[in-house]
Structure 1
Amino acid sequence: MVYPLTGRAVHIAKAGGPEVLTLGSDAPKSPAADEVLIKVAYAGVNRPDALQRAGLYDPPKGASPIPGLECAGEIVSVGQGVTQWKKGDKVCALLPGGGYADYAVTPAAHCLPVPYPMTLKQAACLPETFFTVWSNVFMRGGLQAGERFLVHGGSSGIGTTAIQLAKAFGARVFATAGTDEKCAACTDLGAEAAFNYRDSDFVEQMRAVGGADLILDMVGGDYIPRNLKALADDGRLVQIAFLQGPKVAVNFVQLMTRRLTMTGSTLRPQSDLAKARIADALHAQVWPLLNAGRIAPVMDQEFALEDVAAAHARMESSAHIGKIVLRVNG
């Protein structure tokens, strides 16, 4: 194809708040071998984007400095060796970066078909959260049917996804959230109970039902020792972020005596092969649920690309329930 000389793109002028995000231009590159070029219709907004904007989460080597880790749109060009996709295919994709732009390049193996009943706006909300939840809750955390699963931040994009997937695969699901409205949203999605952390102690609540077999946490800080207390014997704690900080004093004797497991991961720095394996697992085990309408992303609010600062402010206010998206060419 003939590439446009420039496309719109969001740039980070300097490390700081949402106001440092500026709309400018970027020359889209042609896809290398095993890559595809996507004309972005919608891009998801995620916490790692805000961390990158604040100067706290640098892109991996070789990744675009433009924020944006997921999108949905139309493939406009394929690189050498790409056989599973062709020009004109509608996909949603996990990106190494660059989603806040008219065009984004990503490995072909990190793309997934848009589930049949979904719009591109809905599909743009799938990759980052579904890759994160599947890899941490099921692949790393080993959640099994019948186990008690607790997710913190249950009304977030990660939380709403985790509740639905854990419920769909037969777990007993519990969640924490910061308002009664958010707790109600969690139970509406399938949580057995949701605890308002402002007036309820999730440790006591979980211990009352036998303790959590698995906890997914993105809060960190003083939640870490509390999570360990909330676990059942042989329980697992999976850490994916530290909104309240990564350093805390922990009594490791309880890990030994109660046979607890602490683990965690970040998605963006993982190898292309590791992400491709997650994509394959999602396509085989989760996409049928999406195609059947049994699960779906929870949508909060849509912003135009030029209103990206307002989208980041909305996310950092923690007032949202579910996913925030940018309309790029939708």
Structure 2
Amino acid sequence: MRYIELREHGGPEVMQIAEGEKPEPAADEVLIRVVAAGVNRPDIVQRQGFYPPPPGASPILGLEVAGEVCAVGANVQRWQVGDRVCALTNGGGYAEYAVAPAAQCLPVPQGLSMVEAAALPETFFTVWSNLIHRAQLKAGEVVLIHGGSSGIGTTAIQVARSLGARVFVTAGSEEKCHACVALGAERAINYRSEDFVAVIREATDDHGADVILDMVGGKYLDRNIQLAALDGRIVNIAFLAGAKVEVNMLPVMLKRLILTGATLRPQPPEVKARIARDLEAQMWPEIVAGRVAPQIAAIFPLEAVAEAHRLMESSQHIGKIVLTIGG
């Protein structure tokens, strides 16, 4: 099979097309003939050498795929050869064939293309894990999503809106802000020209945000604490602006705040299986009904993977970047 090989860590140019053997599914895995694979921020960090795959995971980049099941492990009961699935992989997605735990596979929602389906797993698993399982977001609560125009952000807007939350986001341009409002955000704040703390306090009659989903970190952490409502929950999923900051913890005590964070990839299989079940039960009907949809920013062939990574690193995109691999 063809796959993307990392011959060393570094810039996008280190990724090269290579030929190798198809992987074999373990007892609880399926083998997928990959039609499309999502590009995600962890892929960038792994390529740079700062996010090694967990023990036993494929060293090949790629955390989500869509395609057709072409082999199943001995213990797999739900999936059969020929099934159309999208899957959260533990690695190996940038390839013509990839294995995935059967419990981390979901049916391609009716009406979606393989490209659209490939944009679902990593972001939906991440958003559900953090907004719902970790932050316990509820209907009527105020949620702030930093990086609202990213793949995570566009997914989080729609998930939070579907749950009946009041959604606010930050983004870096007027175009991105308009896109976020079109997806269901009550207000999109251009962080280059507006103070998100002041805007949201005014919009919520000084209540603040019950939940904050942050991938920026850095100086945003102190601002998040200022904005958080009583019993607020601040969840960090990345630190694009830095992970080390000085924080005044007194407001955390006085407001009874929860500061937490998580990465998805190292979590146990049973946790990811639970997320998959929740998504199929609660979000897949929303997708089939057209009320929630993946936002595709750009599509590249596998051979243009370096261009896909450069686009992601530029942060000029709105939504997801997808690689097409097979027909």
TM-score by length of 2: 0.98
Provide runs of 4+ in structure 1 moved above 3 Å: none
1:171: which partner in 2?
165
Give the alignment partner of residue 326 of structure 2, picking from 303, 323, 329. 329
Residues in 2 aligned to 1:39 and 1:235: alpha-carbon distance in whole angstroms: 43
Shift of 1:323: 0.3
Q: 1:273 and 2:270 equivalent? A: yes
Alignment of structure 1 residues 92-107 onto 2, 5 Å? 92-107=86-101
2:34: which partner in 1?
40
Shift of 1:188: 0.4
1:108: which partner in 2?
102
Residues in 1 aligned to 2:73 and 2:25: alpha-carbon distance in whole angstroms: 5
1:18: which partner in 2?
12
Structure 1: runs of 5+ lacking an equivalent:
1-6
Residues in 1 aligned to 2:242 and 2:38: alpha-carbon distance in whole angstroms: 25
Alignment of structure 1 residues 23-172 onto 2, 5 Å? 23-172=17-166
Give the alignment partner of residue 214 of structure 1, picking from 169, 188, 211. 211
Give the alignment partner of residue 227 of structure 2, picking from 226, 230, 238. 230
Shift of 1:206: 1.7
Residues in 2 aligned to 1:250 and 1:28: alpha-carbon distance in whole angstroms: 49
- C-alpha distance after superposition, 1:7-32 (max 9, x if no partner): 00001121111111111122112211
Residues in 2 aligned to 1:198 and 1:17: alpha-carbon distance in whole angstroms: 28
Residues in 2 aligned to 1:257 and 1:303: alpha-carbon distance in whole angstroms: 49
Letter in 1 for 2:35: A
Q: Tell me, what secondary structure is at the counterpart of 1:109?
A: helix
Residues in 1 aligned to 2:259 and 2:59: alpha-carbon distance in whole angstroms: 32
Residues in 2 aligned to 1:163 and 1:317: alpha-carbon distance in whole angstroms: 22
Shift of 1:264: 1.1
Residues in 2 aligned to 1:29 and 1:162: alpha-carbon distance in whole angstroms: 33
> Aligned Cα RMSD in Å?
0.7
Q: Tell me, what secondary structure is at the counterpart of 1:32?
A: coil
1:287: which partner in 2?
284
Shift of 1:231: 0.8
Letter in 2 for 1:234: D
- C-alpha distance after superposition, 1:43-96 (max 9, x if no partner): 000000000000010000010000000000000000001110000000000000
Residues in 1 aligned to 2:273 and 2:307: alpha-carbon distance in whole angstroms: 33
Residues in 1 aligned to 2:223 and 2:9: alpha-carbon distance in whole angstroms: 33
Structure 2: runs of 5+ lacking an equivalent:
none
TM-score by length of 1: 0.97
Letter in 1 for 2:237: I
Residues in 2 aligned to 1:135 and 1:258: alpha-carbon distance in whole angstroms: 24
Give the alignment partner of residue 241 of structure 2, picking from 217, 240, 244. 244
Task: Report sequence identity in percent.
Answer: 60
1:3: which partner in 2?
none
1:305: which partner in 2?
302
Q: 1:315 and 2:309 equivalent? A: no
